[in-house]
Amino acid sequence: MLDSQTIATVKSTLPAVAELGPRLTEHFYQRLFDHHPELKDIFNMSNQSNGNQRVALFNAIAAYASNLDNLAALGPAVEKIAQKHTTFAVSPAQYAVVGQHLLATIDEMLHPGDDVLAAWGKAYGVLAGVFVQREEQIYQQSEEKSGGWRGQREFVISEVIPQGSMIKSFVLTPVDGRPVADYRPGQYLALWVTDPSFENQEIRQYSLTRTPNGRDYRIAVRHQPGGTLSSWLHQQQPGSRLHLSPPAGDFFIDIDARTPVALISGGVGLTPMLAMLHKLAQDKHPAPVQWLHATENGNTHAFAEEVSALGARLPDFSQHIWYQHPLEEDKGTCHHRGLMDLLPLKSCFSDRAQHYYLCGPLAFMRSVEQSLVQLGVGQSHIHYEVFGPHSTL
């Protein structure tokens, strides 16, 4: 626990830190990579270049400093970050390195004096301890599961299946032939890939797209123009090898049999929803299930037949599909034209017991959340996943 003087000192510095904004974290990352270039093999450098990681880290620092006297409020954020950290195999020693360069950054940009730096050092130490403890728990839980492991495990791409013009499914089978760990529908795993064409090792998280079978995993990857790992994956054939971290993530379906559910996605955001739909179909979920999906057109509409087949196994299933720019041949294959608009479907969202799971581009999810709130849906019934560095809606 932090003493009152430390809390007061950090909070008194927070306005100066807030004024710096993401310039603080930009300086931090530059300093970190200058001194430890090996960490470029851990961080997603695409998120460094587009600024997403800098913004996410700054927001996390500001949130932590603001809640030093109410750390329980940070619980959900800590869990989300800890889950992701385990897929990068983050270690206690790396927390020490990050702390060193964070304090040096504050010193170089603000020159606040030794007392303030000592207070920030204490505060960072407490937070690092929380993460180290929770991440060790996750590592142990992953290792102790039937079919589980710790760190990285070698897998082979055993199947590659096109899903529309932009997405491919990949079935990943362990090279050692042993079983693989179960997971909760909505969770993801991380791929670790090194290749002579890469400047650095690449690590990416991809959602699992079906229920566990104990034998292999299935993911789906959208080809991002210029994306290092997505481009590499889309060039691969069965037989290519890579390494995986165990499944992780705090976004998963968690409802009882009486709860209606709406699965709402945009583009490749349908991937965690697909695993959830598999689970609901497997359980023959008796309450209503709605599938709402938006994509560009019929060419980019992935898993359409699979979704319909799963829906046919449910006693009360309905779909609404939006094509933003339908093609001539798409006539009759989608329900709505343009961007997803939930307001005309007010009757679909009248059950106050219904829960909503969202995934897709950040702007898409913000629009959907705004519509749901406008329709009277409570925030506690809205659950979402952001691909990449976390951001609040």
Q: Phi first, then psi: what are they for 371, rounded to 5°?
A: -65, -40
Q: Are residues 242 and 176 in the same domain?
A: yes
Residue 320 lies in a domain: yes
Q: Please tell me which residue in 135, 202, 369, 385 is annotated as part of the active site.
A: 135
Last residue of a domain, one of 214, 248, 282: 248
Q: Are residues 124 and 174 in the same domain?
A: no
Residue 392 lies in a domain: no
Q: CATH number, domain at 330? A: 3.40.50.80
Residue 234 lies in a domain: yes
Three-class DSSP category at 70: coil
The label of the residue with tokens 């329900």 reads: 335
Q: Phi first, then psi: what are they for 256, rounded to 5°?
A: -95, 175
Q: Are residues 123 and 202 in the same domain?
A: no
Angle between the N-to-C axes of helices 92-110 and 4-20, in degrees from 0 to 180, rounded to the nearest 10: 70
Q: Are residues 319 and 371 in the same domain?
A: yes
Last residue of a domain, one of 248, 271, 297: 248
Q: Are residues 139 and 158 in the same domain?
A: no
Q: Are residues 138 and 158 in the same domain?
A: no
Residue 391 lies in a domain: no
Q: What's the domain count of the chain?
A: 3
Rounded-to-integer distance, Cα 247 and Cα 83, Å: 9
Q: CATH number, domain at 96? A: 1.10.490.10
Q: Are residues 282 and 364 in the same domain?
A: yes
Last residue of a domain, one of 144, 164, 182: 144
Rounded-to-integer distance, Cα 160 and Cα 351, Å: 40
Rounded-to-integer distance, Cα 170 and Cα 155, Å: 11
Instruction: State which residues form the domain around 10.
Output: 4-144
Rounded-to-integer distance, Cα 71 and Cα 127, Å: 9
Residue 390 lies in a domain: no
Residue 254 lies in a domain: no
Three-class DSSP category at 113: coil
Q: Is 323 a catalytic residue?
A: no
Residue 270 lies in a domain: yes
Q: Are residues 118 and 179 in the same domain?
A: no
Per-residue model confidence as pLDDT tens for the chain (393 residues): 789 999 999 999 889 988 888 898 889 999 999 999 999 998 876 766 666 777 778 788 888 888 888 888 888 888 999 999 999 999 999 999 999 999 999 999 999 999 999 999 999 999 899 999 999 999 999 999 999 999 999 999 999 999 989 999 999 999 999 999 999 999 999 999 999 999 999 999 999 999 999 999 999 999 988 889 999 999 999 999 999 999 999 999 999 999 999 999 999 999 999 999 999 999 999 999 999 999 999 999 999 999 999 999 999 999 999 999 999 899 878 899 999 999 999 999 999 999 999 999 999 999 999 999 999 999 999 999 987 666 666
Q: Are residues 16 and 57 in the same domain?
A: yes
Task: Report the DSSP pairing between strands 261-266 and 355-359.
Answer: parallel
Q: Please tell me which residue in 95, 124, 139, 356 is annotated as part of the active site.
A: 95
Q: Is 357 a catalytic residue?
A: no
